[in-house]
Amino acid sequence: MPLFEVENLRVEFTTYGGVVHAVRGASFSVNAGETLAIVGESGCGKSVAVQSVMGLTPMPPGRVAGGSATLNGHDILASKTLDGRDIRGNLVGMIFQDPMTSLNPTMTIGNQIAEPLQVHRAMSKRKAMNRAMALLDMVRIPEAEKRAKQYPFEFSGGMLQRAMIAMAIACEPLVLIADEPTTALDVTIQAQILDLLADLQRENGMAIILITHDLGVVARMAKQVVVMYAGEVLESGPVDEIFYRAAHPYTLGLKSAMPTNDAEAEQSLMPIEGTPPDLFSPPPGCGYYARCPHAMDVCVTHHPKLNALGERHQARCWLHHEDCPVQVEDLYQA
């Protein structure tokens, strides 16, 4: 049984312009000690999916319109109390996208790390602060005792990200959600943060859900990959299958738009032309058909199902239907 599993999740937002169908039946899972990467362009529903499960989506205007989310076999959407606070920060930790705006500027770093320990573990303030300094040392911030008394504006971007990681793992969560943990960092610091996450995972055995645009990060960290577009999962599978035997035109488009340092691969980047569909009124067929170079008439009117292509490898595309006349092997073999 997966440690953390989301099935057929649907999330909607009610606005003055209508209802936005932000997540449309997304499903994914991760096992203990493994890393799942969720990739896709901005606005595809990656962050909304995990934040809704954790109770971080304002309701209203948002609402979970359907689906389930289980942690260790227990449905946390059905059983959570206090707007998810029994889950959030305790069993599931989260590293937010921008640490410069996610931390409280009026509180010291040490107090912010100690707070979840006082709330969820009923520690005294002194014991929680001692643990906070140990966590700062664990995430390789030097002079932890001095740094714990400082405020966020006194930290660099890389140190803020490390402090966010310390806060997220303070209660030793079963699942750590990292939402774009390296976006605002330079390349050297990015590598250090990724190595730190990998080391912490080996030590604690926690599962990691990594939300990112960077396929290089995915190749380095993930074991399983989920590709999202227009609020739904278009492809999922082991990382080697996604990179070397991609089975959906959108995944291939993401790969073509990724730069490479291979001197022999003298080819220009291929952007994906067009824009995502309007989620106020999602298309009845495939959400990607308007941008797909292999679109067929059936893609416009009929919604494709997930096709099993191998062990744990699935793709939502009509090109994999048994009656499709196109030779899929000619299109998708990397």
Domains and CATH numbers, the chain: 1-91+173-334 (3.40.50.300), 106-167 (no CATH)
H helix runs in the chain, sequence order? 46-53, 76-79, 99-102, 109-120, 125-138, 144-147, 157-168, 187-204, 215-221, 239-244, 249-256, 297-301, 328-332
User: What's the pLDDT at 260?
Assistant: 67
Q: Which of 133-147, 256-270, 308-322 has the lowest mean pLDDT?
A: 256-270
Averaged pLDDT score across all residues of the chain? 83
| Cβ neighbours, 10 Å, residue 186 | 10
The string of pLDDT tens digits covering residues 218-242 is: 888 888 999 999 889 999 989 888 8
| Cβ neighbours, 10 Å, residue 170 | 25
The yes-or-no verdict on residue 151 having pLDDT over 50 is: yes
Contact, 135 vs 166, CB < 8 A? yes
Contact, 114 vs 125, CB < 8 A? yes
Q: Which of 13-27, 70-84, 275-289 has the lowest mean pLDDT?
A: 70-84
The yes-or-no verdict on residue 324 having pLDDT over 80 is: no
For residue 303, what is the DSSP state? P
- 162 vs 112: CA distance, rounded Å: 13
Helix or strand run (H / E) with residue 68: strand 62-71
Q: What is the dihedral of CA 327, 328, 330, 334, to 10 degrees?
A: -170
- 55 vs 316: CA distance, rounded Å: 28
User: What's the pLDDT at 218?
Assistant: 87
Non-local (6+) Cβ contacts of 129 within 8 A are 110, 111, 114, 148
User: What's the pLDDT at 327?
Assistant: 60
User: What's the pLDDT at 328?
Assistant: 60
pTM, rounded to two decimals: 0.86
For residue 12, what is the DSSP state? E
| Residue 14: strand pairing partners | 19
User: What's the pLDDT at 247?
Assistant: 83
User: What's the pLDDT at 334?
Assistant: 43
